[in-house]
């Protein structure tokens, strides 16, 4: 033995260049091993490879002799390690060399005689070759037939065979079944036997000792019934799914990644003496208009929540809207049956109306066209019937007026002071009307469905319906291809105008009727307000690529934490550039909701 490392484990030298030390203390360097391909070739070439053992400690291959192999085989078979033990020796001496030769394995005789079957096979090949057969035919002509369904059948059979369906276990006896139950389990005489679940115990007698219990007469019958149950009842294995509810939800991005969005109350605009019904924000995002049930419109400075001017009317102002043209600086207000177009720079004061004189007989002359009047800077359009709301066309010249629940929409042109009805005869009650952001279309939301009209061709393009629900409000995405609708049951339906006439997504978000929905002009945000005094903010990303679906993520629920009896939020408007939301509620104030840090 050259290596003098002693008991030191060979792992210690695994990283080293040497394997140990010789007697003089010099390092024994490791043998350079060939690569694996050479090794493989070497094993093929070397007939005695199977007898070679690698000695890790000495770092060399040891070739075992036949005697060694025999020794190992003996050890494995549990025989004496040395064949030269005393009893064997004796035996050997007794039987002589012939005996020993006999014990060496003889080649069997069949190896020395030619095989009949091989001769037959060769004969067949020769015949086939003479017949110029293809090499395939030389193979055995027994083509293995395979059943296509076999594997599956077999697996099914095996599952059917092997699954054990346990029978239902009989009920275990409880305290009430005892021969001497505790007091609270004893059945009183007052208890009607029919009302008790254990009706067989109703007539039971109690025993104060086990030895007094007689033998159970129905024992055999019950066991028999049980056996019948066990082998006659069909059994089915029920697969119970263990799915957590949150696993079924689609993977939505976290609201934290979708900032900015309005999340915390920042400013409160107080001053109105009654419910605020409608709010509007100008294109620059600096002024806010609010219409209230106290018959006034207020103009607010947004950055300071200061009320700049108050215009008083003789009736409830139902809605207010800015003219979208940046130069006009005009807004419209709906009061009784008048549409008032006011300059926002007009000083505070009371605004006279036309409707007060005529409102009595307005219902009669329904088809009468409105009259336009101009009086010191403001314009008044007096309609035949009440008007609820005005929506402006993007360019700020045309506006449409309608009455909630009414049957017709009137389009007015400010520059020419003309008005016209768009339907000759319609029967459905209108809830909301909007112009398409860039196409000459008009969207009319009725109580059951939304109609998309082409105003140029004067034809119906599409009819969207969200099932069996009453619609209440509508907002159009600034991209023009999407639409959200709020319903009286507190649901929001998102429509894609390019897709089907049914909603792309319906969200049951509010507890009561949705009163208003709004899109942000620049950011992928929309919000809804409801009678349940909550405002909900959503992320609604519409992708320009057609292969991606619209992503809708609920972001924030804002609750009115007002001390006053707030019975709802009536309107919501986004700031044109900032991620700010304005909500107008029944608590006589307007809230500005800003994005938080």
| Residue 450: strand pairing partners | 445, 464
Q: How far is the CB of 21 from other proteins (least distance, A)?
A: 47
Q: How far is the CB of 284 from other proteins (least distance, A)?
A: 6
Nearer to other proteins (CB atom), residue 196 or residue 286 = 286
| Cα distance between residue 290 and residue 269, in whole Å | 10
Q: How far is the CB of 592 from other proteins (least distance, A)?
A: 7
What is the H or E stretch that residue 229 is in? helix 219-232
| Cα distance between residue 266 and residue 582, in whole Å | 10
Q: Does 347 bind other proteins (CB under 8 A)?
A: yes
Residues touching other proteins, count (CB under 8 A): 22
Near other proteins by CB under 8 A: residue from 264, 350, 418, 420: 264
Instruction: Give, as ranges, the residues between 38 and 97 that touch other proteins (CB under 8 A).
Output: none
Q: How far is the CB of 562 from other proteins (least distance, A)?
A: 17
Q: Does 525 bind other proteins (CB under 8 A)?
A: no
Q: Does 586 bind other proteins (CB under 8 A)?
A: no
Nearer to other proteins (CB atom), residue 2 or residue 301 = 301
| Cα distance between residue 421 and residue 366, in whole Å | 11
Tokens 């030895």 correspond to 211
Q: How far is the CB of 7 from other proteins (least distance, A)?
A: 45
Q: Does 338 bind other proteins (CB under 8 A)?
A: no
Site string for other proteins, 292-311 (x = CB under 8 A): ---------x-xxxx-x---
Q: How far is the CB of 516 from other proteins (least distance, A)?
A: 21
Q: Does 578 bind other proteins (CB under 8 A)?
A: yes
Q: Are 421 and 459 in contact (CB under 8 A)?
A: no
Q: How far is the CB of 382 from other proteins (least distance, A)?
A: 30
Q: Does 580 bind other proteins (CB under 8 A)?
A: yes
Range in contact with other proteins (rule: CB under 8 A) among 147-155, 237-245, 280-288, 565-573: 280-288
Q: Does 286 bind other proteins (CB under 8 A)?
A: yes
Token output for 80: 């004496």
Q: How far is the CB of 591 from other proteins (least distance, A)?
A: 12
What is the H or E stretch that residue 472 is in? strand 471-476
| Cα distance between residue 310 and residue 269, in whole Å | 13
Q: How far is the CB of 304 from other proteins (least distance, A)?
A: 7
Range in contact with other proteins (rule: CB under 8 A) among 34-42, 205-213, 282-290, 406-414: 282-290
| Cα distance between residue 252 and residue 551, in whole Å | 9
Q: How far is the CB of 275 from other proteins (least distance, A)?
A: 24
Q: Are 28 and 19 in contact (CB under 8 A)?
A: yes
Nearer to other proteins (CB atom), residue 590 or residue 592 = 592
Nearer to other proteins (CB atom), residue 323 or residue 450 = 323
DSSP string, 85-129: SHHHHHHHHHHHHHHHHHHSPPPPGGGTS--HHHHHHHHHHHHHH
| Cα distance between residue 437 and residue 459, in whole Å | 18
Near other proteins by CB under 8 A: residue from 63, 284, 366, 470: 284
Q: Does 267 bind other proteins (CB under 8 A)?
A: yes
Query: Residue 572's closest CA among 475, 480, 445, 461?
Result: 475
Nearer to other proteins (CB atom), residue 27 or residue 306 = 306
Q: Does 270 bind other proteins (CB under 8 A)?
A: no
Task: Please give the distance of CA 131 from its chain centroid, rounded to a whole number.
Answer: 70
Query: Residue 530's closest CA among 501, 493, 481, 489?
Result: 489
| Cα distance between residue 93 and residue 336, in whole Å | 136
Q: How far is the CB of 427 from other proteins (least distance, A)?
A: 46
Q: Are 452 and 445 in contact (CB under 8 A)?
A: no
Q: Are 365 and 384 in contact (CB under 8 A)?
A: yes
Q: Does 594 bind other proteins (CB under 8 A)?
A: yes
Range in contact with other proteins (rule: CB under 8 A) among 375-383, 460-468, 501-509, 574-582: 574-582
Question: Could you give the C-alpha distances from 17 to 20, 28, 29, 39, in angstroms and in order?
Answer: 9, 9, 6, 21
Q: Are 484 and 494 in contact (CB under 8 A)?
A: yes
Q: How far is the CB of 348 from other proteins (least distance, A)?
A: 8
Range in contact with other proteins (rule: CB under 8 A) among 27-35, 97-105, 262-270, 486-494: 262-270
Q: How far is the CB of 268 from other proteins (least distance, A)?
A: 10
Q: Does 328 bind other proteins (CB under 8 A)?
A: no
| Cα distance between residue 445 and residue 556, in whole Å | 27
Q: How far is the CB of 345 from other proteins (least distance, A)?
A: 9
Give the pairing of strands 276-281 and 262-270. Answer: unpaired
Q: How far is the CB of 303 from other proteins (least distance, A)?
A: 6
Near other proteins by CB under 8 A: residue from 285, 437, 480, 554: 285
Q: Does 350 bind other proteins (CB under 8 A)?
A: no
Q: Are 290 and 279 in contact (CB under 8 A)?
A: yes
Reduce the DSSP state of residue 528 to 3 states and report it: strand
Nearer to other proteins (CB atom), residue 304 or residue 366 = 304
Q: Does 592 bind other proteins (CB under 8 A)?
A: yes
Nearer to other proteins (CB atom), residue 115 or residue 304 = 304
Nearer to other proteins (CB atom), residue 87 or residue 597 = 597
Q: Does 548 bind other proteins (CB under 8 A)?
A: no
| Cα distance between residue 198 and residue 145, in whole Å | 63
- CA 482, 497, 472, 358 torsion: positive or negative? positive
Instruction: Give, as ranges, the residues between 193 and 222 that touch other proteins (CB under 8 A).
Output: none
Residues 6+ apart with CB under 8 A from 536: 509, 510, 527, 528, 529, 530, 554, 556, 557, 558
Q: Does 266 bind other proteins (CB under 8 A)?
A: yes
Q: Does 322 bind other proteins (CB under 8 A)?
A: no
Residues in contact with other proteins by the rule CB under 8 A:
260, 264, 266-267, 284-286, 301, 303-306, 308, 347, 577-578, 580, 592, 594-597
């Amino acid at each position: 033995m050259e290596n003098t490392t002693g008991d030191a484990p060979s792992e210690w030298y695994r990283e080293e260049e040497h394997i140990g030390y010789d007697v003089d203390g010099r390092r024994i360097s490791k043998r350079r091993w060939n690569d694996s391909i050479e090794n493989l070739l070497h094993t093929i070439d070397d007939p005695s490879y199977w007898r070679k053992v690698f000695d890790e400690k000495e770092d060399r291959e040891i070739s075992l002799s036949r005697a060694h192999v025999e020794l190992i085989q003996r050890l494995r078979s549990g025989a004496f390690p040395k064949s030269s033990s005393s009893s064997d020796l004796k035996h050997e001496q007794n039987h002589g060399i012939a005996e020993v030769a006999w014990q060496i394995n003889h080649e069997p005789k069949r190896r020395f005689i030619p095989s009949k079957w091989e001769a037959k096979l060769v004969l067949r090949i020769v015949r086939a070759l003479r017949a110029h057969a293809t090499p395939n035919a030389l193979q055995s002509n027994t083509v293995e037939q395979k059943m296509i369904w076999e594997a599956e059948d077999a697996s099914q059979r095996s599952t059917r065979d092997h699954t054990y369906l346990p029978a239902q276990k009989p009920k275990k006896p409880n305290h009430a079944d005892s021969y001497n139950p505790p007091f609270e389990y004893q059945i009183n005489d007052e208890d009607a036997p029919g009302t008790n679940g254990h009706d067989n115990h109703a007539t039971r007698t109690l025993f104060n000792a086990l030895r007094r219990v007689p033998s159970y007469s129905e024992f055999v019958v019950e066991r028999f019934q049980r056996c019948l149950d066990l082998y006659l009842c069909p059994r089915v294995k029920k697969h119970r799914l263990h799915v957590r509810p949150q696993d079924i939800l689609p993977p939505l991005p976290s609201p934290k990644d979708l900032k900015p969005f309005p999340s915390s109350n920042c400013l409160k605009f107080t001053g109105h003496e009654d419910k605020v019904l409608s709010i509007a924000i100008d294109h620059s995002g600096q002024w806010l208009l609010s219409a209230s049930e106290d018959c006034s419109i207020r103009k607010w400075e947004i950055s300071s929540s200061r009320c700049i001017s108050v215009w008083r009317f003789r009736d409830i102002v139902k809605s207010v809207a800015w003219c979208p043209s940046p130069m006009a600086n005009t807004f419209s207000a709906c009061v009784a049956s008048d549409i008032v177009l006011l300059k926002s720079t007009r000083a505070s004061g009371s605004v006279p109306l036309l409707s007060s004189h005529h409102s009595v007989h307005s219902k009669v002359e329904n088809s009468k066209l409105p009259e336009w009047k101009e009086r010191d800077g403001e314009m008044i359009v007096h309609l035949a019937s009440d008007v609820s709301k005005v929506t402006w066309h993007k360019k700020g010249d045309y506006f449409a007026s309608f009455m909630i629940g009414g049957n017709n929409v009137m389009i007015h042109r400010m520059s020419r002071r003309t008005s016209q009805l768009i339907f000759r005869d319609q029967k459905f009650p209108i809830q909301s009307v909007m112009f398409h952001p860039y196409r000459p279309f008009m969207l009319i939301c009725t109580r059951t469905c939304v109609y998309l009209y082409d105003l140029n061709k004067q034809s119906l393009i599409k009819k969207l319906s969200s099932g069996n629900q009453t619609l209440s409000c509508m907002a159009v995405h600034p991209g023009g291809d999407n639409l959200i609708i709020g319903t009286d049951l507190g649901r929001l339906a998102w429509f894609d105008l390019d897709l089907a006439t049914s909603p792309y997504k319906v969200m049951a978000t509010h507890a009561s009727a949705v009163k208003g929905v709004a899109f942000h002009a620049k950011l992928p945000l929309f919000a809804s307000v409801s009678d349940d005094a909550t405002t909900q903010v959503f992320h609604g990303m519409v992708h320009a690529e057609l292969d991606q679906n619209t992503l809708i993520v609920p972001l924030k629920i804002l609750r009115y934490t007002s001390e006053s009896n707030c019975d709802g939020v009536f309107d919501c408007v986004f700031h044109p550039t900032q991620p700010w939301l304005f909500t107008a509620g029944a608590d006589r104030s307007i809230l500005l909701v800003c994005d938080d840090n």
